[in-house]
Amino acid sequence: MVNLRTLPLATVSLIALNVLVFVFGFLTNSHTWIIANFGFIPDSLFDRNSLDGSLESYSFRSDQTSFQNGVTSTLIRLLSSMFIHASITHIVFNLAALAYIGGYTERSIGICRYLVIYFLSGICAALFHGVIASYVLGSGQTLLIGASGAISGVLGIAAAIGNRRAYYWLIIQIVFAFVGSVTSIPIAFTAHVGGFLAGVILTKLMVTRELFHRREPNRMDEGGAY
């Protein structure tokens, strides 16, 4: 029997939502359309002049007009791209990582902070990747999809609260990021690094702020004792 009190509801909900989007796309034959219209395109934010109708993602092409919907569309894509995956392998690896580490981090910092860091890490990951893709690698027209950036933020939470083994993962991602930049590996390792760093920084900021607020009443009490 499942104990609802110990069940990591936020993690389970995120996994379920990712699975639902993936299954819906395949059952309705709209998987490619979902990727094309809800994946994040770095150049749409950082280098719009380079969009030219040959936008590519994996093995399909899309029309330029579907990407020119302004700032609102870009913001939507930053969020929606976190719930889109290219293949079964892609989603299984991502959700396995989330299932493995998500419950631990969710219980450690609480549901609200966990969700805030998850989504902000996903956004920061996409932006970090976008800057490098558009301005350094010249690959800003390639769609970015997947929960990897947000999940990397969850690993960042684990690192920030004392799980030092999570930093080994960051080192591996930096190595892969370098390898990916000089090869044709279709994995946005830079998004993984950006998400991880965002998770660490956001967690540190939130924990430091909480500790400050906890100490403040004590200082006031100490001050009133004299």
What is the model's pLDDT at position 213? 61
Residue 61 confidence (pLDDT)? 43
- Residue 194 resides in a domain: yes
* 1 domain-assigned: no
- Please give the pLDDT value at position 189: 81
pLDDT at 2: 54
pLDDT on residue 159? 93
Residue 157: predicted pLDDT: 95
CATH of the domain at 190: 1.20.1540.10
Phi/psi class of residue 175: alpha, beta or left (left: φ > 0; alpha: ψ in -120 to 50)? alpha
Q: How far apart are the first and last CA of the chain?
A: 55
Q: Give residue-wise pLDDT tens across range 58-97.
A: 433 444 444 445 667 888 999 999 999 999 988 998 999 8
Q: Is residue 4 part of a domain?
A: no
Is the residue at 3 inside a domain? no
> What pLDDT was estimated at residue 164?
81
> What's the pTM value of the predicted model, to 2 decimals?
0.81
Confidence at residue 180, expressed as pLDDT on a 0 to 100 scale: 60
Q: Is residue 91 part of a domain?
A: yes
Q: Is 2 inside any structural domain?
A: no
Domain count for the chain, please give it.
Answer: 1
For the chain, which residues score pLDDT lower than 50? 53-68, 220, 222, 224-226
The answer to whether residue 210 is domain-embedded is yes
Q: Does residue 189 form part of some domain?
A: yes
13 CB neighbour count, 10 Å cutoff? 12
Determine the structural domain holding residue 13 and report its residue range: 9-223
